[in-house]
Amino acid sequence: MANTVLYPGDTIGVIGNSANAAMLVTTARKMGLRVGAYGADETGEALQLADFKAVGTAKDKDKLQHFAESCAAVVYDSDHVSTDVVKFLAQFTRIPQGSDLLEMMQDRLLERAFFEQLNVNIAPYATIISLDDVYQSVNSIGYPCVLKPIQKEWSRGRELVIRTQTDIAKAAGLLDWGTYILESQIAYAKEYSLIVARDAAGNQQLFPITEAQSIDDRPFKTWVPANVDQAVASELQRIAGEVGKHVNYVGVYEVSFYLTKSGAIYVKKITPAPSENGYVFAVAATVDQFDQHLRAVCGLPLATPQILTPAVTVAFMVSQQPAMRTQWQIKPNWHFNFYHLRNQRPDDIMGHIAVTGDSVKTMLDQLDDTGIWSDDDADEDDTPTD
């Protein structure tokens, strides 16, 4: 991949409709780039913030081609972007992130084949085509386990947690949708994340390790510095760096991990885009993930991320907005970030708070004392002791 440099005044395109898209647009404009945004909703935040917008769907080939030809390069905001769209755009402009890693991470079988190529620990799994396959495989997978569609885009409402043999019968209707995997649920003690920036020459810069709590497989709380043993940290860094040696990708990507009480490390997933766990670096570090992503894409030298202050980020939902209004008036160390997403439901994430302070434990205690997140089901054992 040619290391083409983008200069202030050059045009970059952003596709996607997550909060990341708006953050990419804002960061690119700060860097002096002219920014275009493509999406189906002309009222979306990214399209509103961009210098120019193109309104269209993933099937509007003429609009996609015109958009691509208007940009020196195009970036995508998340791992939910269609690989077909990315491959189509790549015919008419540079897509530094490429489609290979995205395609692998959207297909659970390709994803696991890649992990096995890296020789890393992953949760035991089996390919499932019929109900009989579930009954046969569960003996080796064990309980509890999760039945998931091969294609991650189909996952919403089509996953099944199997805790006992009687739960297996519930899978009959799900399997009509296609091939699934049956995956063991790892009993983990801690969850870590590493964000890596990779440039076109293959040079890498790793962000400091973050520690996290997730709910329903989505980041909920994230903090730095992480409470992590040095030997574990070294292995996480080795694995995350190894990913970058085996992919044709430019920009930031995230590798998420589980750590069990016995010290075993499992790779949870790779996200070929800026990550929600990475939001913490906007207040905690010398460079944030969006700036680093665009530095890689534009051919600039990668910055060396360093922690300036301990920080915690926590997501809040639409239903928690009244509580946010109260805290708005009384918390000098809370930094509020609203995503301005459209047509949100009460349980949708509306934004996040970045909290700064002297220690992670103090900040987590401050968040807990508000009672706003008292109903969350995150594992309390993850709270650091210092």
CA distances from 24 to 42, 109, 119 (A): 17, 30, 33
The answer to whether residues 259 and 297 belong to one domain is yes
| CA atoms lying within 13 Å on the CB side of residue 253 | 28
Asked whether residue 256 is assigned to any structural domain, the reply reads yes
The answer to whether residues 67 and 211 belong to one domain is no
Q: How many Å apart are CA 122 and CA 106, to the nearest integer?
A: 16
The domain of 140 spans 124-184
Asked whether residue 23 is assigned to any structural domain, the reply reads yes
Q: pLDDT at position 216, please? A: 73
The answer to whether residues 267 and 282 belong to one domain is yes
Q: pLDDT at position 155, please? A: 63
Token pair in block for residue 359: 């220690």
Asked whether residue 140 is assigned to any structural domain, the reply reads yes
Q: pLDDT at position 153, please? A: 80
Phi, psi (deg, nearest 5) at residue 198 = -130, 130
Q: pLDDT at position 26, please? A: 98
Tally Cβ neighbours within 10 Å of residue 85.
23
The answer to whether residues 259 and 336 belong to one domain is yes
* Contact criterion met (CB below 8 Å) for 293 and 197: yes
Q: How many Å apart are CA 218 and CA 237, to the nearest integer?
A: 22
Angle at 86 between CA 80 and CA 88, to 5 degrees: 145
Q: Give me the torsion for CA of 11, 15, 19, 25, rounded to 10°.
A: 0
Q: CA nearest 273: which of 299, 300, 255? A: 255
Domain with 231 in it: what CATH number?
3.30.470.20
The answer to whether residues 345 and 200 belong to one domain is yes
Q: What is the greatest pairwise CA distance in the chain?
A: 62
Domain with 139 in it: what CATH number?
3.30.1490.20
Token pair in block for residue 296: 């890689």
* Contact criterion met (CB below 8 Å) for 386 and 227: yes
DSSP for 314-367 reads EEEEGGGHHHHHHHHHH-TTEEEEE---SS--TTSEEEEEEEE-S-HHHHHHHH
Residue indicated by tokens 């195009």: 74
Asked whether residue 73 is assigned to any structural domain, the reply reads yes
The answer to whether residues 201 and 344 belong to one domain is yes
The answer to whether residues 220 and 86 belong to one domain is no
Asked whether residue 108 is assigned to any structural domain, the reply reads no
Q: pLDDT at position 377, please? A: 45
The answer to whether residues 284 and 345 belong to one domain is yes
Token pair in block for residue 87: 């491959």
What is the domain count for the chain?
Answer: 3
* Contact criterion met (CB below 8 Å) for 311 and 284: yes
Question: In the listed set 136, 165, 184, which residue is the last one of a domain according to the structure?
Answer: 184
The answer to whether residues 156 and 219 belong to one domain is no
The answer to whether residues 168 and 27 belong to one domain is no
- Give 207's DSSP letter: P
The answer to whether residues 222 and 304 belong to one domain is yes
Q: CA nearest 360: which of 338, 342, 330, 333? A: 333
Q: How many Å apart are CA 108 and CA 120, to the nearest integer?
A: 15
Q: pLDDT at position 48, please? A: 95
Asked whether residue 278 is assigned to any structural domain, the reply reads yes
- pTM (2 decimals)? 0.93
Asked whether residue 103 is assigned to any structural domain, the reply reads no
The answer to whether residues 222 and 371 belong to one domain is yes
Asked whether residue 27 is assigned to any structural domain, the reply reads yes
- pLDDT tens for the chain, 386 residues long, are 444 899 999 999 999 989 999 999 999 999 999 999 999 999 999 999 999 999 999 999 999 999 999 999 999 999 999 999 999 999 999 999 999 999 999 999 999 999 999 999 999 999 999 999 999 999 999 999 999 999 988 766 689 999 999 999 999 888 888 899 999 999 999 999 999 999 999 999 999 999 999 887 777 899 999 999 999 999 999 999 999 999 999 999 999 999 999 999 999 999 999 999 999 999 999 999 999 999 999 999 999 999 999 999 999 999 999 999 999 999 999 999 999 988 889 989 999 999 999 999 999 999 999 999 975 544 444 433 34
Residue indicated by tokens 């269209």: 56
CA distances from 13 to 21, 52, 68, 302 (A): 10, 9, 7, 21
